[in-house]
Amino acid sequence: MRATLRFLSPEERFKYALEWAKFQCTAKNLEPNGENCRNELGDIFNKIEFDKMDIKFVETTVAESFVLTKIELFKLINAKNLVNEKSLIDILTAEFDCQDPEKLDAKFLVQNKPIYAFKWLLRIQCPILLKFFTVSSCYLDISNGVIIGGNVKFDQFKAFLRYLYTNKIELNEENIYVLTDLANQYNVLSLYNRCEDYLCQNAFYQNTENHFKLAALYEMAKAIKILCKYIKIKDFWETNDLLQISKPLMKACIQMQMLSKSPEEEYFKALEWAKIRCTENNLEQSVKNCRNELGDIVDVIHFDQMSPEFVSTTIAESQFLTDEERLKVLDKIAINLKLRSSFKMRLSCESCGTREVHVLTEGADKLLLQFFIEIARRQRLEFGYWYTIKEETSNKFLRSICNERYVPKSISPDLIEDGSIVLLAEFRNEKCTSIYFETIRKPLS
């Protein structure tokens, strides 16, 4: 390998070495990217004479290979131009500001005005934008260059390109929306982060609501968390009809619990929004279509903060969640219940005689039964009986879960066998306030 490279020019040596490295990567099932190729070259890489290569070759072939880091490439071009390191950015910026088409080989057309830039710099700072210059690109006009359309203004796009040179930009209310979009579209993470910081630092302004919508659109988690504190939720929903709420904004509002303090009401509003979307798209307002319209919004609805009764009745009847999904939700509720609810659980061995046994809810189903049995297990109780609402299905289900005797609905409390453990629920104003596992002890006659 080294003997072969000795008789080639620096440019040819680099090409030969790069092809060899790519072959080695392929043989080892590695992606032949710049980092892997550099690792395969090992100490051979240190023998490559980048400083003796032609400047154009460095700006094109070497830059496109990505075997050099951004800093290494900047220093190399700096050395090739015989300027000191500190002045490189100033010189590049000055050349960009001069807009000389003889020196700048990337041409953009914005609002019918040309803007020029270095292609080699785009390769480093914004590879996505450089792809627009390929022959197959629909954005490329052979005579005019890459056409930038949409709502982007000339000064805004020029400021964006200038940022790629200087890492400096002045954000304001006029350009924050477009520059956030450009940073997201062309994957310029440093600018994206600066835009998010701007939204966070200006959270108290009058346009907080618009800032929140922008942060939601691009899923800026830090900005969303800060901005929602400055929004008056009541006013927000009075001025924003559900029909006008975008999907990213709806997702952000649900994540931050801005739709309602009640997770159950939050679910209804999300469902209402989905039905409106179905109507707009000429779709039937079925559960399947509503879930499709919601998409990943379903993942942020706070099902685990709902009451188990609501999940096992309203949610179950609507079939919005599958049985498996509901079971997972109920399991999370079982874990969180002790921390967040007013339910009190205790195991009592007191003699209760003919104490009335209350049914927890008329709409209880298998999952609700399993939920309370899971609670019993988490409390390290040996048994978990349920005073059943349904007949054969529930009884059979309880047998499979507890593998113990059960108390059928037809048996009144005074007929329950002595020593049986049953699940009791107390109600006040039709709301369950306490749950008990009681051992029935009959008084001596």
pLDDT of residue 191: 92
pLDDT of residue 327: 74
In whole angstroms, give the CA distance from residue 235 to residue 387: 47
Residue 108 makes CB contacts below 8 A (sequence gap 6+) with: 114, 115, 116, 117, 145, 146, 147, 148, 157, 161
The confidence band for 317, taking pLDDT boundaries of 50, 70 and 90, is confident
List residues bridging with 78 in a β-sheet.
none
pLDDT at 280 > cutoff 70? yes
pLDDT at 330 > cutoff 70? yes
pLDDT of residue 173: 86
pLDDT of residue 248: 82
- Residues 47-67, mean pLDDT to the nearest whole number: 82
pLDDT of residue 65: 83
The confidence band for 160, taking pLDDT boundaries of 50, 70 and 90, is very high
The confidence band for 94, taking pLDDT boundaries of 50, 70 and 90, is confident
**Per-residue DSSP letter, 314:** I
- Residues 132-153, mean pLDDT to the nearest whole number: 65
- Residues 126-151, mean pLDDT to the nearest whole number: 67
pLDDT of residue 277: 87
Side-chain half-sphere exposure of 309, counting CA atoms within 13 A: 11
In whole angstroms, give the CA distance from residue 369 to residue 397: 9
- Residues 346-362, mean pLDDT to the nearest whole number: 35
pLDDT of residue 178: 92
- Residues 71-76, mean pLDDT to the nearest whole number: 76
Proportion of the chain in helix, strand, coil states, percent, rounded to 5: 55, 10, 35
pLDDT at 43 > cutoff 80? yes
pLDDT of residue 410: 36
pLDDT of residue 341: 36
pLDDT at 363 > cutoff 80? no
pLDDT at 121 > cutoff 90? no
pLDDT of residue 7: 61
Tally DSSP H helices, then E strands, for the chain: 24, 7
- Residues 116-127, mean pLDDT to the nearest whole number: 82
Residue 392 makes CB contacts below 8 A (sequence gap 6+) with: none
Domain ranges of the chain: 2-82, 345-439
Q: What is the DSSP string of 41-89?
A: HTHHHHH--GGGS-HHHIIIIIHHHT-S-HHHHHHHHHHHTT--GGGHH
Cα-to-chain-centroid distance, residue 136 = 32
346 against 61, higher pLDDT: 61
Cα-to-chain-centroid distance, residue 97 = 38
Residue 444's identity, in one-letter code, is: L
Residue 13 makes CB contacts below 8 A (sequence gap 6+) with: 5, 48, 49
List residues bridging with 438 in a β-sheet.
348, 422
Q: What's the whole-number average pLDDT of the chain?
A: 71
Phi, psi of 17 (to 5 degrees): -65, -40
Token representation of residue 252: 């952000």
298 against 415, higher pLDDT: 298
pLDDT at 422 > cutoff 60? no
pLDDT of residue 346: 39
- Residues 319-328, mean pLDDT to the nearest whole number: 82
- Residues 249-271, mean pLDDT to the nearest whole number: 83
- Residues 345-368, mean pLDDT to the nearest whole number: 38
pLDDT of residue 230: 74
The confidence band for 427, taking pLDDT boundaries of 50, 70 and 90, is very low
| Tens digit of each residue's pLDDT (9 = 90 or more) over 167-220 | 888 898 889 999 999 999 888 999 999 999 998 888 766 677 788 888 888 888
